[in-house]
Amino acid sequence: MKKTSTRLADGRELIYYDLRDGEPRDAVDRRPLDPVTSASEIRHDPLLGDFVAIASHRQTRTYHPPADECPLCPSREGRSSEIPEDHYDVAVFENRFPSLTGKHGRCEVVCFTDRHDRSFADLTPEQARLVLDAWTDRTAELSRLPGVEQVYCFENRGEEIGVTLGHPHGQIYGYPHATPRTELMLRSLERHREATGGRNLFDDLVAREREDGSRIVLEGEHWTAFVPYSAHWPYEVHLYPRRRVPDLTGLDEAARAEFPGIYLELLRRFDRLFGPAGPYRPEAAAEPPTPYISGWHQAPFSGAQREEFALHLELFTIRRTKGKLKYLAGSESGMSVFINDVPPETAASRLREVASP
The rounded distance, in Å, linking the Cα atoms of 227 and 21 is: 40
Mean pLDDT of 284-294: 78
The rounded distance, in Å, linking the Cα atoms of 300 and 314 is: 17
- Give the lowest-confidence range in 38-42, 117-121, 173-177, 257-261: 38-42
State whether CATH 3.40.630.30 applies to domain 180-353.
no
Q: How confident is the model at residue 286 (pLDDT cuts 50, 70, 90)?
A: low
Q: Is the pLDDT of residue 154 over 70?
A: yes
Are 165 and 70 spatial neighbours (Cβ–Cβ below 8 Å)?
yes
Q: From edge to edge, which strands make up the β-sheet containing 13-18?
A: 2-7, 13-18, 90-94, 106-111, 169-175, 150-157, 292-297, 312-317, 235-241, 223-226, 216-219
Domain boundaries, the chain: 2-175, 180-353
**Would you list which residues are annotated within the binding site for Zn(2+)?**
70, 73, 116, 167
The rounded distance, in Å, linking the Cα atoms of 246 and 191 is: 19
The rounded distance, in Å, linking the Cα atoms of 178 and 186 is: 10
The rounded distance, in Å, linking the Cα atoms of 87 and 74 is: 5
Q: Is the pLDDT of residue 179 over 50?
A: yes
> 224 by DSSP, 3-state: which?
strand
Q: Could you report the per-residue pLDDT of 182-205, keeping only the tens digit for each?
A: 999 999 999 999 999 999 999 999
Burial degree of 148 (CB within 10 A; 0-12, 13-18, 19+): buried
**Would you list which residues are annotated within the binding site?**
70, 73, 116, 167
Indicate if 180-353 has the same CATH topology as 2-175: yes
Whole-number pLDDT of residue 5: 97
Report the percentage of the chain scoring pLDDT > 70: 96
What pTM was computed for the model? 0.94
Within 8 A by CB and 6+ apart from 58, the residues are: 97, 99
Catalytic residue status for 169: yes
Are 235 and 342 spatial neighbours (Cβ–Cβ below 8 Å)?
yes
State whether CATH 3.40.190.10 applies to domain 2-175.
no
Mean pLDDT of 285-304: 89
Whole-number pLDDT of residue 86: 95
Burial degree of 254 (CB within 10 A; 0-12, 13-18, 19+): middle
Q: Is the pLDDT of residue 287 over 80?
A: no
The rounded distance, in Å, linking the Cα atoms of 130 and 112 is: 9
Question: Which residue of the set 44, 64, 169, 232 is catalytic?
Answer: 169
